Structure 1
Amino acid sequence: MDGPWPSKFAVPAVLSLISFLSFSSQYLILQLDPGPLDYRQTLIFNSLIACLLISYARACVTDPGRIPEDWLDQFVSNGESKSDESRQRASKLRRRWCSKCNIYKPPRAHHCKSCQRCILKMDHHCPWTVNCVSHVTFPHFIRFVFFAVAAMAYLEKFLYDRAAVIWENRHLPSYLGPTVFQLVHFFLLVAANSLTLFVLAILLVRTLWCLAVNTTTIEEWEIERHETLLRRARYLGGYLNGPDGQRVRIVKQEFPYDIGIWKNLKQGMGTWNFLAWLWPLSASPSVESGLEFEENGFEDTSVSWPPPDPDRIPRIKRTFNSEDALVYNQYGQTNDREDIEAFRRRQAEDLKRWNSNAGGIQRRKPFYTRATEDGRMFDGSDASDVDIGNMEGGGEEGWRNSEGERLRDFGVDEDVEFYDEDDVPLAELIARKKAKNNAM
């Protein structure tokens, strides 16, 4: 659903389903025993539908938030609005760079490949709203799912009551019961409503859980990835190999943004007023409130999320000059023809290895393949932690969680997330250094 063609039909398809379940069902119920809905039932059902449509519209059209270019300067400013603790944490914060937006990404932000920009507290890019579920749009999205489940559950009760009557009267002559067209319509309503209710109920439970513990779908993926790396590191003395022989220590790191259920709910819904949580016309959270997030203090302020991942470290970009690589009779080098030819072969392999991908980035083989080639053995408990069949991306950046999902399945631009976050342009570093010197 990421391409432009399916996106054109996503919203019309959702609206068509809502209309079919909401309005055609009320027309059919008028013709089936035990009779039409009473005034109270009609008012409740149509109120739920109205809240559903308003919430869906806002989830679709609300801008997920644009990160101000000068947000970092405001974040570390000496203004009265920032506490000493906030400024200290900001000074130690790992600043993740986005090469496509040319800005530093705030905490919990990710670059969306569909929206073509970094999104504040990105949860995922929803194909059915054709919009990102972010810090700004999350309240509208959860209200949309909640009212959809509530309306369909209410409709399910109406359909069940009429299905019971049809079953009780099954032995009566056909002309005393519903027509064939009505039975087909009724069957389609039951099938569509039951299936959609089941799927959305699971989504609602999962979304409410994420709201209660203050995680996003992407962060759930990162938490599972971190636990996988911890299990791997236990077999290798607490360290994992990065590219170019780097050794990365893997230490258990607590998720920093779970600050208690009440605070989590207040932060996720954008207000402390719980009556406004279900009001479809509630205001959207501000962009400014999504630039900094309170932490639980379980980790040192210098530790950032997500935790280190050796497989997300790019190789060092190297260049080779084949003309100047070997100079004979200097510095004790040999001019033996066999030695020279052996060197040329190694040099050709180096050139092939370093230049196989654009930008000089060489993606590594999956962990299981590398470990097996090194002669290490793993028991069955580690088999679930490795993605043996995941060779399509050429390396561990294609790691899938237990549900078979990659970061790109949530709408994240993997090229930016994996390799460019720490590759800050020299001009930006110089500008930051000058600004720091001027501040002193």
Structure 2
Amino acid sequence: MEISQLAVPSVYILILFLGYPSQWLLTRLEPAPLTRNELIASNLILVLILITYTKSVFVDPGTIPKDWTEKHELRGTDEKEERGNGENAAAVKSTRKWCRKCEAAKPSRAHHCKECKRCIPKMDHHCPWTNNCVSHTTFPHFVRFLLYTTGGLSMLQAFLFTRLSHLWSNRDMPYYLGPSLFQLSHLFTVFITNTITLFVLGVLLLRNLWCLAVNTTTIEGWEIERHKTLLRRARQFGGYLESPDGQQVRIKKQEFPYDIGIWSNVVQGMGSANPLSWLNPLAATPSLKSGLRFQTNGFEDEGTMWPPPDPDRAYRRNAKAVNADAFVYENSNLDAEDTVAAFKVRQAEDLMRRRKPYIEQQQDEVVLGEVERDEYECVYGDDASDIEEEEFKKEEKSGDGQKEGEAAWRNSEGERLQDFGVDEDVEFYDEQEDDIPLSELIARRRAASHSYS
């Protein structure tokens, strides 16, 4: 049995431990047992916690329909007409991303989860404590779980603090007039466990409420920080960074496109415009259809993709053809199946080539010329170099002392994409906007021709 399979039972055990034995304890401690109303409130919120956690665990995080691209393209003309007729209609970005593991196109904000083994619409992260992805469909249940759990733990903390305060104020009384050793041990165990859990879930709740208000996911927060880092680096090279094959890629400040206002963000994230539904533990799960296309704020030109261009995502094109020595296998003893396998190995090695780490580029050449401040909005000179050098002292080596390259870039909290459950090899290298296989393009054209005939 994997450790991840023990996470969900462990959380259920923790909920029940903090929920029911604590009620028995609090009815036997001074200054007074729990009142009837307090017991009703405690058990009611405990039921809400169990319902919302169960939904966070068992609701399907969603998958990408195989035919969604055809439907999306057929609606393209109607969508443009709607945007032209509506006064405040926001643009809806098209997508041309391709997942090599799913061998299918995927919409914006979708990512390939290494645990779920598929692309998840509007993936926030893969939560180890629910053993499920927090996504477009599960996010409302997850937020409600955090909200009710934080409220329940706060109420329990208040009950416990009242009893502990009473014990402290009467600490000079004989021990036989106070609680038993078992009750004291139980009290302190529950208090410590509840304090730690409340702190962790409280921070997580605040973070998710912030993400809900600005309509970002945890992964997109990582991408925003990555974009700021690239802007800061490009400032030292005249606004450009090199791709793996030496091409100069311009790094220009780009606004996050999905923040469409607090109210609209919350409505979209919670799947309803009814505030009562936001708190309803039995509220319906948002439809998968609404998680395939998202409104944008229109700050960038239509068709601008998110995340912004990142030179490290580009493949390295060799001057020498990668299959220049492929015919050497004709002189070997490999059969047809082994020959194909060997070719795929060489192909994978070529796709996974990593660019020179940025710190080495910086040592080779530093452009000291100033760049337009209103475009990059950063400081210049030695301060910027010091920031980058300090940053890359943390990034340059992995746990085993080997350089990980730019794919292993970490944000200010030391997190990589793989820490959110994302398949990093697929997401960082294979997510190419225009790298859709020719066979797929031909199939789409045929489908479109049949639909118009």
Which bin holds the TM-score, normalised by the shorter protein? 0.7 to 0.9
Matched, 1:380 2:395: no
Deviations 1:94-148 (A, max 9, x none): 4110011121111100000000000010000000000000000000000011111
Letter of the structure 2 residue corresponding to residue 367 of structure 1: Y
How many residue pairs align between the two structures? 408
The CA distance in 1 between the partners of 2:238 and 2:449, in whole Å, is 42
Q: Secondary structure at the match of 2:108?
A: coil
Letter of the structure 2 residue corresponding to residue 405 of structure 1: E
Deviations 1:352-406 (A, max 9, x none): xx96962453112321123224477963133354354245563201100000000
Letter of the structure 2 residue corresponding to residue 381 of structure 1: I
Which residue of the partner structure matches residue 335 of structure 1?
none
Matched, 1:371 2:381: no
Matched, 1:315 2:316: yes
- The question of whether the paired residues in 2 share the 8 Å contact of 1:139 and 1:277 is answered with yes
The CA distance in 1 between the partners of 2:299 and 2:414, in whole Å, is 30
Which residue of the partner structure matches residue 55 of structure 1?
52
The CA distance in 1 between the partners of 2:429 and 2:19, in whole Å, is 47
Give, in angstroms, the shift of residue 425 of structure 1. 1.9
Which residue of the partner structure matches residue 215 of structure 2?
214
Deviations 1:13-57 (A, max 9, x none): 101111111111101112111222111111111111110100000
Letter of the structure 2 residue corresponding to residue 156 of structure 1: Q
The CA distance in 2 between the partners of 1:52 and 1:402, in whole Å, is 32
Deviations 1:227-263 (A, max 9, x none): 0000111111110000111111000000000000000
- The question of whether the paired residues in 1 share the 8 Å contact of 2:121 and 2:135 is answered with yes
Which residue of the partner structure matches residue 418 of structure 2?
408
Matched, 1:42 2:48: no
Q: Secondary structure at the match of 1:244?
A: coil
Q: Secondary structure at the match of 2:199?
A: helix
Which residue of the partner structure matches residue 396 of structure 2?
389
Q: Note closer, same or farther for the CA distance 1:363–1:356 as it changes in structure 2 (3 Å cut).
A: farther
- The question of whether the paired residues in 2 share the 8 Å contact of 1:316 and 1:361 is answered with no
- The question of whether the paired residues in 1 share the 8 Å contact of 2:109 and 2:123 is answered with yes
Which residue of the partner structure matches residue 430 of structure 1?
442
- The question of whether the paired residues in 2 share the 8 Å contact of 1:366 and 1:390 is answered with no
The CA distance in 2 between the partners of 1:79 and 1:219, in whole Å, is 25
Q: Which has the higher contact order (CA 8 A, sep 6+)?
A: 2
Letter of the structure 1 residue corresponding to residue 386 of structure 2: G
The CA distance in 1 between the partners of 2:183 and 2:256, in whole Å, is 54
Of residues 314-323 and 134-143 in structure 1, the stretch that sits farther from structure 2 once superposed is 314-323
- The question of whether the paired residues in 1 share the 8 Å contact of 2:237 and 2:366 is answered with no
The CA distance in 2 between the partners of 1:251 and 1:104, in whole Å, is 27
Q: Note closer, same or farther for the CA distance 1:109–1:49 as it changes in structure 2 (3 Å cut).
A: same
Give, in angstroms, the shift of residue 426 of structure 1. 2.3
Q: CA RMSD in A?
A: 2.5
The CA distance in 1 between the partners of 2:234 and 2:269, in whole Å, is 34
Which residue of the partner structure matches residue 149 of structure 1?
150
The CA distance in 2 between the partners of 1:324 and 1:418, in whole Å, is 31
- The question of whether the paired residues in 2 share the 8 Å contact of 1:212 and 1:264 is answered with yes
The CA distance in 2 between the partners of 1:79 and 1:429, in whole Å, is 17
- The question of whether the paired residues in 1 share the 8 Å contact of 2:69 and 2:105 is answered with yes
- The question of whether the paired residues in 1 share the 8 Å contact of 2:56 and 2:141 is answered with yes
The CA distance in 2 between the partners of 1:137 and 1:398, in whole Å, is 28
Give, in angstroms, the shift of residue 78 of structure 1. 4.1
- The question of whether the paired residues in 2 share the 8 Å contact of 1:363 and 1:394 is answered with no
Give, in angstroms, the shift of residue 429 of structure 1. 2.3
- The question of whether the paired residues in 2 share the 8 Å contact of 1:368 and 1:388 is answered with no
- The question of whether the paired residues in 2 share the 8 Å contact of 1:390 and 1:398 is answered with no
Give, in angstroms, the shift of residue 433 of structure 1. 3.9
Of residues 377-386 and 78-87 in structure 1, the stretch that sits farther from structure 2 once superposed is 78-87
- The question of whether the paired residues in 2 share the 8 Å contact of 1:214 and 1:258 is answered with yes
Q: Note closer, same or farther for the CA distance 1:363–1:190 as it changes in structure 2 (3 Å cut).
A: same
Q: Percent identity at matched positions?
A: 51
TM-score (norm 1): 0.87
